[in-house]
Each structure stands twice: as C-alpha cells, then as structure tokens.
Amino acid sequence: MIDDPLEARDQILARLRRALSGARSVFRDRSGPSTPPATPTAVTRADGDRRSLAKAFGTKLAEVSGSYEFLEDAAEASERLVQLARAWSADDDGDTEADDAPAIEVLSWAPLALPIENLGPRLKESGISLFVPEDLHDESTRARAARATVGLTGAEAAFAGTGSIVVASGRGKSRAASLLPLRHIVLVPMSRIHPTLEAWLSNLRREQALGSFLRVSGQIVFITGPSKSADIELDLTLGVHGPRLVHALIFDDTW
C-alpha cells in the first residue's frame, strides 16, 4: 500500500506511459478503407414459401406475447373481425346483442387504407362503425379516440424472422389506431409477410418504391407484440404504453 498520494500518481502515470509506448495501437487504425459486408446480417432469418413464412411470423408473434389466427381469405378475415369486435365490445360494455345496445365503434384506419376491399360497408351492415380521426388537435376528437377499446389497422409489412409489423402513419392512417386502444387488431395479408426487414427493403428498392413510401409516411413504427414494461425485479407488465393485446388476422390474399 502506498501512503504518499504523489508517489501513487507517479506510478500510475508511469504505467500509462509504458502502455502507450508499446507497439500495440490503442485506437483502431483508420488509414485503410472501411468495407462493409455486401449483405447485412439479420438477427434472425426465416425461409420458405408464403404459408411457411406466415406460420413463422405467427409463431414469433406469439413468442413476444402477441396472438394470431390464420384465415382462408379476405372474406373469412372480415367475418372474424366482426366476431372479435362484437365479443370484445361486449366484454367492455355489456351485452351488445340487446336492441338498445350502443353501436360498436372501432378506432381505425380509413377503409381504403385497409388491405380488404369493401370492408367498411361490410362492417356497417354488422353494426360496426369505423372512427377514423383526422385531427387529434381537437379535444372532442381526442376524447372520442381515447374511449375506443379496439383499434384496427393494416400493416405495411410483417417479418417472419421477428414477428414484427410495420405501421406507417399518413393520410387516413392515424397512429392512434395502433396506440390508444386496449386491443389492436392488425390485418396481415400473406403477400406482405417477408423473411426479414432486409428482404422487405430489398423488394422496395427493386420495385423503386422505397422513395415514395418514405415520402408519404409521416411516421414509421415497428411493432413487436403488445406494449411491455418491466420494473427493477423484471416483473413484466403488458399494456403500459400502448395496447395490451396485439392480434393478427393473417389471410391469403392471392385468391
């Protein structure tokens, strides 16, 4: 043990000088060119045909506390959406089958932005209306959006490798639909499921669509399961900063 602080300082400085005088460089040599790998390495991968990728996406989504269903086509997905909206609204508001029951309202993207044709009229026939907020600066609009317990969106893309979806806000595609309600239903056509993020971006570049996608998207969000938060003891809580449930209706859109 060294009692003199000055002597201890001198010894530390001497060690630093010896270390810096060695042949080994402390910093990385930047004199040569830096060549990135030709293909970025994905964290996880998934391969196979359309249905294999869809199954992998659903499996990964379930692993991160999400849920999913496979539907045969868009018509079956529409029917299932009606069933879920009714059931979940009944859970929150009581019996929605009664004659005087309030109409079911779902916070949603605009019907034309959803990946199922004529979905709006089909839902309206079933007593379900879509609330598409245009300006959340308005207090009454914000209050109405906050009362919604079910949110409905499509997905720009979904990734089989991670169970993630891409949601891009823009005209008729309010971010609130995937953020405010307790339950988020996302419509996922199989044609939009890609092995990885890199594969999706590669497709956009090949189709020369990446630039236009970025220009029309106000905000691009990657969602991997429901909102999660954990305290210092690692007790996981769902739904703290967003939906408690993220449920994907996966359907074949090639018929």
Q: How far apart are CA 111 and CA 173, in angstroms?
A: 10
Q: pLDDT: is 34 or 173 the higher one? A: 173
Q: pLDDT: is 80 or 236 the higher one? A: 80
Q: In this prediction, what percent of the chain has a pLDDT beyond 90?
A: 65
Q: How many residues does the chain have?
A: 255
Average pLDDT, stretch 140-152? Answer: 94
Task: Return mean pLDDT, the chain.
Answer: 86
Provide the 8-state DSSP code for 88.
H
pLDDT value of position 135: 85
pLDDT value of position 229: 82
Domain 45-251: CATH superfamily is NagB/RpiA/CoA transferase-like (3.40.50.10420)
pLDDT value of position 159: 97
Closest CA to 247 of 52, 83, 95, 111: 83
pLDDT at 255 over 80: no
**CA-only gyration radius of the chain, Å:** 26
pLDDT value of position 101: 47
Ramachandran bin of 227, using left for φ above 0, alpha for ψ from -120 to 50, beta for the remaining angles? beta
Q: How far apart are CA 81 and CA 91, in angstroms?
A: 15
Q: CA-CA distances (angstroms) from residue 141 to 43, 61, 172?
A: 40, 32, 15
pLDDT value of position 33: 56
Domain extents in the chain: 45-251
DSSP letters, 114-152, are SSSTTHHHHHHHTTEEEE--S-TTSHHHHHHHHH-SEEE
Residue 222: CB atoms within 10 A of its CB come to 12
pLDDT value of position 34: 53
150-153: strand order across its sheet: 67-71, 245-251, 183-189, 150-153, 104-108, 128-131
219-223: strand order across its sheet: 193-194, 157-159, 164-169, 219-223
pLDDT value of position 13: 82
Q: In this prediction, what percent of the chain has a pLDDT beyond 70?
A: 84
Per-residue pLDDT tens digits for 52-111: 999 999 999 999 999 999 999 999 999 999 999 999 988 776 554 544 445 799 999 999
pLDDT value of position 152: 98
pLDDT value of position 46: 78
Check if the beta carbon of residue 133 is closer than 8 Å to that of residue 68: no
4 — pLDDT class (breaks 50, 70, 90): confident
pLDDT value of position 29: 54
pLDDT value of position 100: 47
Average pLDDT, stretch 13-26? Answer: 68
Average pLDDT, stretch 127-139? Answer: 92
Average pLDDT, stretch 126-155? Answer: 93
pLDDT value of position 44: 66
